[in-house]
Amino acid sequence: MPLRYVDEVAWLVRRFKFEASPRAGAVLLALLEGALVAEVHAWPQALVAVPLHPRRARERGFDQAGWLARRLGRRLGVPCLDAERRRDTPSQRGLDRRERRANLRHAFRVSGRLPPRVAVIDDVMTTGATLEALAQACQAAGAEEVEAWAVARTPRTPSAPEAW
């Protein structure tokens, strides 16, 4: 994760995620790609984006993780494979790590067989619960190694240590 989710980065992510700003997305994608070391570029055999539930995708009109993963996959020359959000989970905002993990238990499914090495993609990582739940679904679909890639990470704060 190359960036901290604060100040200008948080503003960019919000514009990208909630306003579907392609300019903000292009900047975030360039920053993510620039932070990946050359050895990592060739590591994944596929990318899997954190999927939105279809209802939330319709409401928002934009799937930010899928947008990032498809473009990054083209740049890295690896396929972007689909996962499914099996249930419409409540928002993770305001939940601590334990609550986030429980909220996402069995939330994702990957159809078909995955290659041995995949990277799961999201815009922001807070506790890692979402990426962990998707990684488990990827392993159930045959992935042997799964890396989590996100554009930004929320900073740990003294007032919310349970979030990590």
Q: Cα(50)–Cα(92) distance, rounded to whole angstroms? A: 14
pLDDT of residue 158 exceeding 90, the answer is no
* Cβ neighbours of 23 (radius 10 Å): 10
- Confidence band, pLDDT 50/70/90 cuts, at residue 16: very high
Q: What is the pLDDT of residues 23-38, one digit of tens each?
A: 999 999 999 988 887 7
Would 163 be classed as within a structural domain?
no
**3-state class (DSSP) for residue 145:** strand
Q: What is the pLDDT of residues 56-69, one digit of tens each?
A: 878 878 899 999 99
Q: Which domain holds residue 78?
A: 3-89+97-155
- Confidence band, pLDDT 50/70/90 cuts, at residue 97: confident
The confidence score (pLDDT) of residue 8 equals 94
Would 160 be classed as within a structural domain?
no
Would 162 be classed as within a structural domain?
no
Would 116 be classed as within a structural domain?
yes
Region at 106 (left for phi over 0; alpha for psi -120 to 50; beta for the rest): left
- Across the range 61-80, mean pLDDT stands at 92
CATH number at residue 80: 3.40.50.2020
The confidence score (pLDDT) of residue 90 equals 61
Q: Cα(37)–Cα(74) distance, rounded to whole angstroms? A: 17
How many domains does the chain fold into?
Answer: 1
pLDDT of residue 117 exceeding 90, the answer is yes
The confidence score (pLDDT) of residue 164 equals 42
